[in-house]
Amino acid sequence: MPIAVHHEVTGPLGADVVVLSNSLGAELGMWDRQLEALRDYRVVRYDLRGHGRSPMPDGPSTMADLGGDLVALLDRLDIGRASLAGVSLGGMVSLWTAAHHPERVDRLVPGFTSAQLGPPEGWRERAALVRAEGTGAVADAVVGRWFTPAFAAGEPELVRRLRDTIAGTPAEGYASCCHAIETMDLRGDLPGITAPTLVLAGSADPTTPPAHGAAIAEAIRGARLRVLQGAAHLGNVEQPDAYNAALLGHLEGGS
């Protein structure tokens, strides 16, 4: 059953809708640097199940569960069709939704993500670790992959705050979403995506290097890939100007 995820809606009534989906271990605040750029849009941000202020899942989740939460949110808000942008796990959820509910998706911007992110045992081990020791056990390693060393040195307070967000994520919520990534293989779904798609990748992303984004773009008819120079895994935070320009260009009908 879908979970009624916590969400926030900003922007003018009647404007085109953009839904922003967060990464594993983050919450909707990771999109703060996009709000001003998207001021002319109706922006829906939400916390993935088991993250932020969203309810806890009952056991392991699948990508279909996470996508079902997103579709249920659109239904609750009476949104027939929206553009989707997601980073990392949020990008996976956006891809799944565009493949399985194409009538609900206008334009698509998956970023810093993958159609299959193995090895599966790595995600099983991470889920077991956080269940045993809490998400604080992985917080330093995860935030270390989110940003380049130069960015981390220049914005230590922001990086510390996001590290604390990871550590504050409930262990079961984090582990449940690890299972969704462990069991995910969207490669066969990608050719069925019909929404105009811009795939974003970071040149310095150690988690989902540009080759992952290239594989997604190659599988979706007409999709384009753009690599943001100097961005690691949370490129929307590290390189907001470049990310926002690319996102707006695509939403407005460009490449």
Q: Is residue 123 part of a domain?
A: no
The answer to whether the CB of 193 falls within 8 A of the CB of 108 is yes
Asked whether the CA dihedral 56, 5, 239, 113 is positive or negative, the reply is positive
- Give the pLDDT confidence score for residue 152 in this predicted structure: 98
Tell how far CA 101 is from the center of its chain: 17
d(CA 131, CA 121): 15
Q: Is residue 99 part of a domain?
A: yes
pLDDT per residue as tens digits for the range 34-69: 999 999 999 999 999 999 999 999 999 999 999 999
d(CA 224, CA 221): 9
Q: Is residue 61 part of a domain?
A: yes
| Residue 19 belongs to domain with CATH number | 3.40.50.1820
Question: In the chain, what percentage of residues exceed pLDDT 70?
Answer: 99
- Number of domains the chain contains: 1
Has this prediction a pTM greater than 0.85? yes
pLDDT per residue as tens digits for the range 117-161: 999 999 999 999 999 999 999 999 999 999 999 999 999 999 999
Q: Is residue 165 part of a domain?
A: no
Q: Is residue 190 part of a domain?
A: yes
Q: Is residue 134 part of a domain?
A: no
- Domain of residue 33, residue span: 7-116+184-251
- CB within 8 Å of 32: residues ≥ 6 apart: none
| Residue 108, strand partner residues | 84, 197
- CB within 8 Å of 91: residues ≥ 6 apart: 21, 110, 111, 112, 113
pLDDT per residue as tens digits for the range 232-254: 999 999 999 999 999 999 999 86
**pLDDT at residue 106 above 60?**
yes
What are the tokens at 210?
């540009």
Q: Is residue 124 part of a domain?
A: no
